[in-house]
Chains A and B, each alone.
Chain A
Amino acid sequence: MSDIIKEEELVKELKEKFGAVIENASITRKTRVWIDVNSDKALEVMRFLKTKGYYHLSTITGFDEGEKLGAIYHITDHKTLVNIKLRTSKTNPVLKSVLEVYPVATSYERELEDLFGIKIEGLPEGRNYPLPEGFPKGVHPLRKEVKLEELNKMLDEKCAKEE
């Protein structure tokens, strides 16, 4: 008997309910479900998962794939971890805030804004996190085009100017 029955049932249920919104569903091992979701419908999928007991948003991982930016929402009921991947274009990166479903997302979403430059629609204004105040505007260090040496050089020059 397969030991991933619960995971398979969840994927089946999501596909039946949301159809083409769910793409590339895969189960990499017991307790690990990965799905790509159309970013316009992501909130509906998350709201549905929350009613199923997936109340815990562990974190949000931003990523840079070259042409696209994106984020993975790691959501769990403490037994199964569902990883929801959303993608957005690099030229105009925008994702909707998930605060109405997961009120703890504030700092994770600020990380996306600071480190990847993804604009989060619906995230209230606030101070930088985790980058310090006065960090060069428009530089998002975890993007692939930002090279470590150049970043260090730029920060050194900035500090020298301020001295």
Chain B
Amino acid sequence: MSFRPLSPPESPTANNSNNHNQSMSRSSESDLSVDTDIIIGHLDPNFGSETRIENPKTPSSHQRNASSYSRNYSLLDFYGLESPSGDRESEPLIDASIMKGLDDLEFKELSHANTIFAKSVVPSPETEASVRENYIQPTVSENIEKILNSPYDRYGFRKSSTLHNITHDHYNEWFSDYSQYALRRKKKWHILMKNNGLHLEQEDSIPTRFPPKSDKVKKLIRQGIPAEWRGSAWFFYAGGHERLNKHIGVYSQIVRDTRDIHNKDTEVIERDLHRTFPDNIYFNSQITSPVNSSSTTLATDTSAAPPETPMIKSLRRVLTAFAHYQPQIGYCQSLNFLAGLLLLFMEEERAFWMLVILTERIIPKVHSANLEGVHTDQGVLMLCIKEYIPQLWAILGKNFEGEALSEDKILTRLPPVTLVTSSWFMSLFVGILPIETTLRVWDILWYESSKTIFRFSLTICKMCLENPDFQASRNNNKGGAEMDQIELFQFLQNFPKTILDPNLLVDNCFKKIGGYGFGSLSQDEINKCREFVSKQRAKLDHKKNNNIAAEMTDEERRTLISSSDGTFADDQSIHDVYGFHRSIMSGVIWNKSISNKMKRSFVKRKTSR
């Protein structure tokens, strides 16, 4: 394999379509011309010294090496199954070069908002050519010491957050323990890598290839990926490489196409950019007086627009490009949180494709214009709660007027509490759980897919229910069903913010002994349940549209129903959809138990009519 030294960037507006016919080794240049104007980050003076680059670039080029993107890797290659070693070697290029920047960033700069961005000042956005800084410091003892002394955590979030009611001291108390845990985990990861023949050049190198999926890997993933490896590991296990290599240059093209676009989506995006992570130094350069933890006002002046950080610019491009690429979604609030968190861990082209993977594969239709996926997933979650946490269902399976929701209403009129839980699904716990806890969930999510969201949602619900404070407030509550609901609503909203220790959540979720054992809720069951709920909803919609509400005569209704019976659920098809074949937890065979219960209640109602 050969990588030519990179030539100076062409004009970012140059049409690179001609270049696509070039040979693979040359295509790096064509992509480069595109990437230079979309990657904004810190200039890295040591860039050329990156050890993994076989043909070191000259330091003056300051380019992100886009060549690994332009190489047409196969899926197999990325999962490390069969590939010529030469290709394997080449793949780390991108990450290694990006990651290198972190060594140069003194952590103490984090406490000076104004200086941290000084490096990234570029003369003109049109000609800027820079390497994306890595925002995450390596998990090593020296850094941990620095983090303990900084007002910011290792991701740039303020430790004492008014959003999470966590104080600086409280954070440090937790982190001094947790960081030791993180150090031990990292050692385990090093051993795992070594056992899989994936050698790291240095202690601090960021791997770009990870071991194939296995129980051993899953276990380590659940225990947490080293923070600085996260972007790379998420991307790898989510199938990011495959996606990226099927769409070489696409992101850059979209960014160019959408540069001056103004529409309904961009309007909302603009409003959300600064409302994404206002407590993060990379997103808000105006965080002031961080030491004074009692201060609630963090930014100083409203009237003047805060200077834009490189991160905000990246976020704008990713969200705008995404809205353009997925018009059936466009921009949906909460995508800003997802893109924002991804951008802390990977450069924007990768973040873009991860967003695509997420919305296509992991939480489909959740952000679509009618939020159909939210309704579906909330229906599934409610069914799960009903089955697995019946004590909780006894509270929330009612409307605000205190009437118990009949089974058929679960899917048509979701319990009010789904207003809280739907944001868990839309934001994937970003801003809902404390940051490290969120990241641990994300580690697992990218590896184990969407069942993870359900498992953790159930875990949080159960922890909430068992929380002594909640129990106490329930006992004191004389307000009846509505107040019960309100109480639960509020508790579910605030409680997750207090789960500072990720291990508590993860252990509760997965441990069979001493935990809730939600790890046995399988993807297959979730898939079936999703299919079931969405079919039911479609059927109800269909009927709603066909009937003008209740203004039909009985005869009309009967005709309609008999006509639709053929197309929709007969006994068998429902059982197929709902036919979870396995008992999941504590011997409950919930497919039968639910479907039988349902059928009984329908029969009863029919005869009573």
Do A and B pair up? The answer is: no
